[in-house]
């Protein structure tokens, strides 16, 4: 929509008064409200649909129907996996939904609306058609609209267009939701709300509670895709073989279902989701809002953490230190000018608020107050690094970075350097007789005074930064402040190599050269928003996984492009909107907990994946062996349900939620396959070998042969369980022992033994059975380790 069209479509509303209470009520009654989803989770119907009607559940239900057609309802025990998948999955996601709903109230974007001449903060969904909204720096534009009034209003539409340069907005110009205010302030009127605006689609996408394309998910999806390709032809060939081998088609179908059930990784997706959800809930209890399930994985894989100084290492609260009037300058003029600028600023940032607290507005007792009424304003911009005001009788005053305003004056810069080395943040007040010229500094300008501000380092920052350093995470401090000041703060906070610092204005634009500079330095000052984004990209080009923390508008581009964006809850709405993780209580100490949860999820999902991929591997190989030797399938479906429950399902549930602090290594899928395929081959060969010995002996019946095969498969499965549980803890050994004891109970309990059709074989058969378990178990311990050493060479 063109600006003039947008303006024409807006209802005439006084921007100083906005809508009246009656007008708001009329629009609410007519349902002309900005209805958008507020909760960052799936709805209850979506949760039920995703957990009940999953592909794995569909396959298992089809196999259950097949076993009922064959007339073996006892072999349908595996349908319990469908029930448990659905019940556990739904229960856990509803639990997560409740936890995140509590946090959503705090993190949901707000809008400041003008109603009956008063500014009120309301939820985004409470904005009505034709609403007048107020904007200040850092605000997110929540609905589409047309600008009514402006005071240097600049909108950054990079999230919509990819263009990073702020766009100056004048009355009548269009504002699109999803953009944010880079500088200035103003008011605009809503023209498109709800589903018609960008906000609806953007907020829906940003708040979708889903598994993202993480390394874990990619690996598991790859396994599932291959199994979906393998299972149908393997099952079709098996049933053809069994139809020739078995005397009844029902038995052939029974054996085919047994093989197919074993090949389906029925609990893998459930336990993976369960691990993610448990991590998200744990973070929610620490008041950390994870926008997506895989957020808990991202920080654990991070090897470079980029830190914004203000609001991250420091508290973000700037305290006023002192003013040093330059030689020949009247201190009273400096105090009056600072007070006038601070109190006339309609959207003061933290710096101006500190100045406002230190200096009152000019006194009107001399009748000269009108002389300190601003006739022109240039709001602060992180790109320009200065703000300005022109007063009727006193000229224009410029307030900002000394090296930008007076970089060509050595005497001034020498004083700045002294303060910067001491870690003080230094700003400059300058004056010019020339009229204000918006974006450019005048040729004639006189420095008046240095304003000294102090940053307060977060009490927990040194300890937390030391923790990340010990974990092998490379720390980079990226700030728009003076380089020496940033370096001094970084040294106080304990950043390693903080003495290696660089002014970002000297950074090369070439990505490779920039990456080299980033490798050589730990602290960067005078960084523009575009450079922050480029620096993240340069690090990623070297194969690094990059996390970025920030709380200001100038951090948005970098947060959006980082592998993991971390925003402070007190930060701007735009940073909270693009970040994957929001620390609602602004506690930097939450990050180690995020790292711990990520390690727990990654390590536990890998253990669970080892179990299920091993199961699929031995099921596929058993199908091949049955086809080659043209014999009855070694197991009934209920046998494999028993083995799967005691060696995979129940222990997998414990392992998925167990504490785990091991360091993360890349190559998830390669490691899983390197362990699971040999382990699956050993389990299949051992159980089929014992089965063939028993089947070929006249004294051993088919049920007895299947019993020893089941015992062998379970025995090797328990060895696999112990191996993947390393490092071993008493409870893990106890878990494996409990699973083995449960199988023995089934063997000695007559009802259970009859139900599962387990017949005790002749005593001599236990010798090859135990030998097969020992030999295969030794192979499970040694072969994957040997393969890993061979690959590392």
Active site amino acids: 308
How far is Cα of residue 288 from the mean position of the Cα atoms in its chain?
A: 11
Distance between CA atoms of residues 425 and 455, nearest Å: 7
Give DSSP secondary structure letters for 310-321: IIIIEEEEEEEE
- 107 and 289 Cβ atoms separated by less than 8 Å: yes
**H-assigned helices in 10-153:** 21-29, 44-52, 55-70, 79-107
Element (H, E) at 582: strand 581-583
Q: How many CB atoms lie within 10 A of CB 90?
A: 16
Residue 700: DSSP 8-state: S
- CA dihedral (640, 641, 644, 647) in degrees, to 10, reads -100
Among the listed residues 501, 96, 21, 42, the one whose alpha carbon sits nearest the alpha carbon of residue 275: 96
- 683 and 773 Cβ atoms separated by less than 8 Å: no
- Residue at token pair 């922050």: 532
Output the six-digit token pair for 131: 């609403």
- The sign of the CA dihedral 14, 17, 18, 20 is negative
Distance between CA atoms of residues 355 and 151, nearest Å: 20
- Residue at token pair 């025990």: 77
Distance between CA atoms of residues 559 and 678, nearest Å: 42
Output the six-digit token pair for 518: 């980033």
Distance between CA atoms of residues 705 and 690, nearest Å: 8
Among the listed residues 519, 526, 579, 531, the one whose alpha carbon sits nearest the alpha carbon of residue 552: 579
Residues listed for the chain: 793
Phi, psi of 631 (to 5 degrees): -125, 170
In DSSP terms, 645 is beta-bridged to none
Q: How many CB atoms lie within 10 A of CB 716?
A: 30
The residues, any chain, with a CB within 8 Å of residue 415's CB and separated by 6 or more, are 324, 450
């Amino acid at each position: 929509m063109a600006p003039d069209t947008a303006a024409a479509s807006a209802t005439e509303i006084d921007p100083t008064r906005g809508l009246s209470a009656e007008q708001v009520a009329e629009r609410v009654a007519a349902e002309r409200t900005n209805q958008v989803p507020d909760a960052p989770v799936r709805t209850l119907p979506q949760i039920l649909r995703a957990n009940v009607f999953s592909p794995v559940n569909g396959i298992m239900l089809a196999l259950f129907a097949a076993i009922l057609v064959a007339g073996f309802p006892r072999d349908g025990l595996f349908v319990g996996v469908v029930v448990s998948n659905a019940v556990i999955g739904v229960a856990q996601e509803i639990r997560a939904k409740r936890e995140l709903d509590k946090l959503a109230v705090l993190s949901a974007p707000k809008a400041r609306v003008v109603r009956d001449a008063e500014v009120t903060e309301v939820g985004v969904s409470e904005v009505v058609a034709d609403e007048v909204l107020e904007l200040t720096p850092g605000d997110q534009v929540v609905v589409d609209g047309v600008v009514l009034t402006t005071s240097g209003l600049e909108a950054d539409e990079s999230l919509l267009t990819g263009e990073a340069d702020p766009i100056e907005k004048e009355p009548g110009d269009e504002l699109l939701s999803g953009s944010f205010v880079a500088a200035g302030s103003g008011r605009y009127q809503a023209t498109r709300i709800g589903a018609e605006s960008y906000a609806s689609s953007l907020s829906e996408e940003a708040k979708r509670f889903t598994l993202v394309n993480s390394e874990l998910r990619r690996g598991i999806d790859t396994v599932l895709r291959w199994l979906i390709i393998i299972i149908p032809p393997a099952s079709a060939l098996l049933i053809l073989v069994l139809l020739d081998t078995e005397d009844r088609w029902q038995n052939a179908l029974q054996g085919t279902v047994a093989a197919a059930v074993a090949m389906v990784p029925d609990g893998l997706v459930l336990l993976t989701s369960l691990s993610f959800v448990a991590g998200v809930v744990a973070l929610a209890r620490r008041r950390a809002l994870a926008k997506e399930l895989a957020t808990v994985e991202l920080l654990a894989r991070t090897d470079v953490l980029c830190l914004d100084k203000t609001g991250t290492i420091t508290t973000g609260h700037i305290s006023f230190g002192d003013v040093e009037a330059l030689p020949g300058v009247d201190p009273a003029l400096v105090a009056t000018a600072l007070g006038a600028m601070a109190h006339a600023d309609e959207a003061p940032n933290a710096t101006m608020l500190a100045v406002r607290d230190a200096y009152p507005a000019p006194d009107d007792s001399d009748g000269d107050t009108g002389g300190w009424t601003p006739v022109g304003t240039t709001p602060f911009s992180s790109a320009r690094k200065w703000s300005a005001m022109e007063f009727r009788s006193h000229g224009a005053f410029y307030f900002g970075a000394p090296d930008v305003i007076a970089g060509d004056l050595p005497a001034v810069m020498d004083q700045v350097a002294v303060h910067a080395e001491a870690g003080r943040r230094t700003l400059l007040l300058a004056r010019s007789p020339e009229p204000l010229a918006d974006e450019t500094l005048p040729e004639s300008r006189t420095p008046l005074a240095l304003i000294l501000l102090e940053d307060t380092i977060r009490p927990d920052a040194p300890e937390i930064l030391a923790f990340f350093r010990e974990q092998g995470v490379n720390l980079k401090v990226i700030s728009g402040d003076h380089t020496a000041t940033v370096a001094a703060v970084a040294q106080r906070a304990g950043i390693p190599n903080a003495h290696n610092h660089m002014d970002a204005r000297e950074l090369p634009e070439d990505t490779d050269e920039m990456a080299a500079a980033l490798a050589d330095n730990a602290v960067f000052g005078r960084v523009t928003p575009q450079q922050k984004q480029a620096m993240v990209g340069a690090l990623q080009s070297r194969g690094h996984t990059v996390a970025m923390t920030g709380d200001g508008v100038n951090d948005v581009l970098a947060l959006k492009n980082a592998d993991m964006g971390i925003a402070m809850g007190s930060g701007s709405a735009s940073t909270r909107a693009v970040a994957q993780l929001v620390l609602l209580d602004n506690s930097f100490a939450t990050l180690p907990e995020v790292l711990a949860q990520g390690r727990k999820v990654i390590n536990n999902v890998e253990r669970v994946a080892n179990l299920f991929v091993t199961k699929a591997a031995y099921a596929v190989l058993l199908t091949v062996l049955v086809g080659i030797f043209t014999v009855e399938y070694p197991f009934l479906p209920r046998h494999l349900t028993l083995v799967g429950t005691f060696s995979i399902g129940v222990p997998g549930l414990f392992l998925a939620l167990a504490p785990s602090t091991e360091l993360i290594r890349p190559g998830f899928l390669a490691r899983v396959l390197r362990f699971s395929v040999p382990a699956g081959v050993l389990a299949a060969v051992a159980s089929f070998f014992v089965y063939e010995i028993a089947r070929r002996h006249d004294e051993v019946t088919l049920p007895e042969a299947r019993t020893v095969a089941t015992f062998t498969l379970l025995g090797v499965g328990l060895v696999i369980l112990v191996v993947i549980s390393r490092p071993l803890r008493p409870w893990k050994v106890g878990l494996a022992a409990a699973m083995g004891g449960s199988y023995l109970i089934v063997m000695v309990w007559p009802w259970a033994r009859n139900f599962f059709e387990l017949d005790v074989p002749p005593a001599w058969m236990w010798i090859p059975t135990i030998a097969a378990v020992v030999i295969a178990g030794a192979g499970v311990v040694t072969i994957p380790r040997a393969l890993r050493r061979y690959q590392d060479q």
